[in-house]
Amino acid sequence: MKIEKDIIIIGAGPIGIACALECKQRGFDYVILEKGTLTNSLFNYPLNMTFFSTSERLEINDVPFISNNPKPNRDEALEYYRRVATSNQLKIHLYEEVSSILEKNGQFIVTSEKQNYHAKKVIIATGFYDIPKLLNVPGEELPKVTHYYKEAHPYSMQKVIVVGASNSSVDAALEIWRKGGDVTMVIRGNDIGERVKYWVRPDILNRIEEGSIKAYFNSEIQEIKESEVLVNTSKGSISIPNDYVVALTGYQPNFKLLEATNITFSDDERHIPTYNTETMETNIPGLYLAGVICGGMETHKWFIENSRIHAKQIAEHISQNL
């Protein structure tokens, strides 16, 4: 079955939703295709996560975001973006993954697992939460190892190694410790990350200093075993008794879809896709990028706060070329 649209938007995160709002306001015939649930990445965040930004900086399309707290939490964000999508009756197909995008004679054939779409323009607004950056060590495949953290309760009264020193790592370490877990942090650098939330950083530093949470800086995991973890530290290799490893070492975008569409990339480790910073159009005419995907491996470059503008940039350019 072939469905014809002006615009196909891939990804129903906050920026994909912002793009849909712009399309609707301009009268474009559009649809969002999302492989998971609405705002799938936010849904998979830790249950008690608090945003760094205030609610007004997370707003899209001038729709007010009212929060009970100075910094909104995960549930408030899910409620906000859900209300934006439903109250505006946005056209969104959830649980429909796109497998390919083919440009042919100035048109795009977008194939999903359910049907084919023909579109004049395509906007890719996928995130970066799907593929974790692996440790690439023996034992990483063991069931005791996870690259995602949801809540602390399962780790109560367990010996837990948390890998990393980012916001997610620090939050997990503190929450697990407060729920009765025996927490050890393994950190490749020599300090807690500079981007850690300013109201949380003193907390983790104090817990480490007092010995409540153990931390090995300038260290890396060498091997993960059933009941222990071997760690290379600045003072040599040590064995740490262990029940679980929570490796929160970051994530990366799924570049396969972009590469298969012949979007070009920078030839360095950043792997930044090619696009016009004024219009967000890639080297493929009519194919646009929005949100965190624009940063390639630099996943800390684009956020909801500073990439909301992408939706308007794209919509204005499409208005001149549709």
Q: Looking at the structure, do residues 152 and 111 belong to the same domain, yes or no?
A: no
Which residue among 214, 247, 280 closes a domain?
Answer: 247
Taking the model in full, what pTM does it have? 0.90
Residues 238 and 255 in one domain: no
- Whether 126 and 110 share a structural domain: yes
CB distance 30 to 91 below 8 Å: yes
Residues 8, 122 within the same domain: yes
231 and 96 share one domain: no
pLDDT of residue 253: 87
Contact 144, 31 (CB under 8 A): no
Same domain, 222 and 298: no
Give me the pLDDT at residue 185, please.
98
DSSP of 255-286 = -HHHHHTT--B-SSTT-PBPB-TTT-BBSSTT
Residues 17 and 126 in one domain: yes
Q: Do 25 and 125 have their domain in common? A: yes
Residues 242 and 181 in one domain: yes
Residues of the chain below pLDDT 70: 1
The pLDDT of residue 127: 82
CATH number where 266 lies:
3.50.50.60
For residue range 52-91, what is the model confidence (pLDDT) as tens digits?
889 999 999 889 999 988 899 999 999 999 999 999 999 9
117 lies in the same domain as 150: no
Do 197 and 219 lie in a common domain? yes
The domain containing residue 179 runs over which residues? 134-247
| Whether residue 16 is found in the same domain as residue 40 | yes
**Domain-terminating residue out of 188, 222, 247:** 247
Encode pLDDT of 197-252 as tens digits. Answer: 999 999 999 999 999 999 999 999 999 999 999 999 999 999 999 999 999 998 88
How many domains are contained in the chain?
2
DSSP E strand boundaries for 76-188:
92-93, 98-104, 107-112, 116-124, 131-132, 145-146, 159-163, 182-186
Closest by Cα among 160, 136, 139, 141 to 149: 160
pLDDT at site 1: 65
pLDDT at 105: 85
And the tokens for 199?
């109201």
